[in-house]
Amino acid sequence: MDRSSLLQLIQEQQLDPENTGFIGADTFTGLVHSHELPLDPAKLDMLVALAQSNERGQVCYQELVDLISSKRSSSFKRAIANGQRALPQDGMLDEPGLGVYKRFVRYVAYEILPREVDRHWYFYRHRSCPPPVFMASVTLAQIIVFLCYGARLNKWVLQTYHPEYMKSPLVYHPGHRARAWRFLTYMFMHVGLEQLGFNALLQLMIGVPLEMVHGLLRISLLYLAGVLAGSLTVSITDMRAPVVGGSGGVYALCSAHLANVVMNWAGMRCPYKLLRMVLALVCMSSEVGRAVWLRFSPPLPASGPQPSFMAHLAGAVVGVSMGLTILRSYEERLRDQCGWWVVLLAYGTFLLFAIFWNIFAYDLLGAHIPPPP
């Protein structure tokens, strides 16, 4: 029986004869079993949880229709959150007989989502197609580019010290600001093996699970927003410096995830969360420290300024603002949230300011930038 037939059956059975706007959960459950309706188990779980959230054990008729119609479940989640009970806390953890992939999906659910109802909803409706291709593709492209330049230059660390490295059309250089693509493509270039390894590891460990839960569009938007904010921030605050590496996007993902964990600390059930957060902060801080050291105290003489560390900080700001809004909006449309439009307006204002800065400020301030390679 398809969805339209199910809705028609609900109406024909007159489950709400008195037009109260509510129907009994037991009545609907009996209808499902008697007609062998192919209803998603997660939806039945949500119906039971919703019925438990009020004293009369009833479900709002319109919310039921919305759920059957596969509309966004924000109304259900609000109703459950306002009630006294929710889905069983240990249901998914104790579920036996799962294959390797479903165990990984369950791990991702507990790693990313702070609420049990969201974990159930994601776990039961998750499909392996489409796979999380964005973060995997970006990481693969960065590795390929690094290997190509490493083999060509015969240099695998401190590549920016090689005179031919900065001539790449992918690197952002203040002398090539008119080539707008460089504000994004610098994410494919890296200082050396240590920076590539750090970024690739975080992109796969944090970015892939985030993409599995929140989807390609949202995570790619967050990552690219961090990358673009990184180069534009450098062009404003460190006008002489070039930029290489995907740290702006990586820090946007990491800071968004860590902020989401902190704000939902009680609900997050990922193992060793305190230890993992401390390790993540130590790794991120050490990466920023390394970038600051290379910028102001380079170990070798260089023909010009070394890449700036401001992209890391800009990515972190994007993650805490835009990213946190995205991660807190699982199964809810971003366009329906006032906070999303505020963040988007702030980011758009920053972009406009940065564009005008790059067009006019360098000449007005008489900035002495190193000649482009």
**What does the radius of gyration of the chain's CA atoms come to, in whole angstroms?**
25
Residue 205 has pLDDT above 70, yes or no: yes
Q: How confident is the model at residue 239 (pLDDT cuts 50, 70, 90)?
A: very high
Residue 154 sits in the same domain as residue 254: yes
| Tens digit of each residue's pLDDT (9 = 90 or more) over 46-97 | 666 655 555 566 666 665 665 555 544 454 444 444 443 344 444 566 677 7
Residue 224 sits in the same domain as residue 348: yes
Residue 47 sits in the same domain as residue 139: no
Residue 244 sits in the same domain as residue 159: yes
**Residue at a domain's end among 44, 71, 98:** 71
User: Tokens representing 321?
Assistant: 């603002």
Q: How confident is the model at residue 283 (pLDDT cuts 50, 70, 90)?
A: confident
Does any domain span residue 89? Answer: no
pLDDT at 78: 47
Tell me the average pLDDT of the chain. 81
Query: What's the domain range around 342?
Result: 133-365
Does any domain span residue 152? Answer: yes
Number of domains making up the chain: 2
Does any domain span residue 139? Answer: yes
- pTM of structure: 0.80
Residue 316 sits in the same domain as residue 192: yes
For the range 358-362, what are the long-range contacts, defined as Cβ-Cβ under 8 Å and sequence gap of 24 or more? Answer: 358/177, 358/232, 358/235, 361/236, 361/239, 362/174, 362/177, 362/239
Does any domain span residue 238? Answer: yes
| Tens digit of each residue's pLDDT (9 = 90 or more) over 321-362 | 999 899 887 777 888 788 899 999 999 999 999 999 999 999
| Tens digit of each residue's pLDDT (9 = 90 or more) over 23-35 | 666 666 666 566 5
Cα–Cα distances (Å) from 151 to 145, 196, 199, 201, in that order, read 10, 15, 20, 22
Active site residue ranges? 247, 312
Q: How confident is the model at residue 280 (pLDDT cuts 50, 70, 90)?
A: confident
Task: Output phi, psi for 132, to 5 deg.
Answer: -75, 80
| Tens digit of each residue's pLDDT (9 = 90 or more) over 103-131 | 899 889 988 988 777 787 788 778 777 88
Does any domain span residue 90? Answer: no
**Residue at a domain's end among 34, 56, 71:** 71
Burial of 18 (0-12, 13-18, 19+ CB in 10 A): exposed
Does any domain span residue 153? Answer: yes
DSSP secondary structure letter of residue 59: E
Residue 155 sits in the same domain as residue 256: yes
pLDDT at 332: 76
Residue 12 sits in the same domain as residue 148: no
Does any domain span residue 349? Answer: yes
**Residue at a domain's end among 22, 39, 71:** 71
Residue 56 sits in the same domain as residue 139: no
- Distance (Å, whole) CA 272 – CA 249: 25
Residue 145 sits in the same domain as residue 53: no
Residue 319 sits in the same domain as residue 239: yes
DSSP secondary structure letter of residue 320: I
Does any domain span residue 115? Answer: no
Sort strands 58-60 and 22-24 into parallel, antiparallel or unpaired. antiparallel
CATH number of domain containing 338? 1.20.1540.10
Residue partners of 263: CB distance under 8 A and separation at least 6? 324, 328
pLDDT at 315: 96
Percentage of the chain beyond pLDDT 70 is 74
CATH number of domain containing 30? 1.10.238
Residue partners of 17: CB distance under 8 A and separation at least 6? none
Residue 185 has pLDDT above 90, yes or no: yes
Residue 222 sits in the same domain as residue 323: yes
Residue 254 sits in the same domain as residue 143: yes
Residue 169 has pLDDT above 60, yes or no: yes
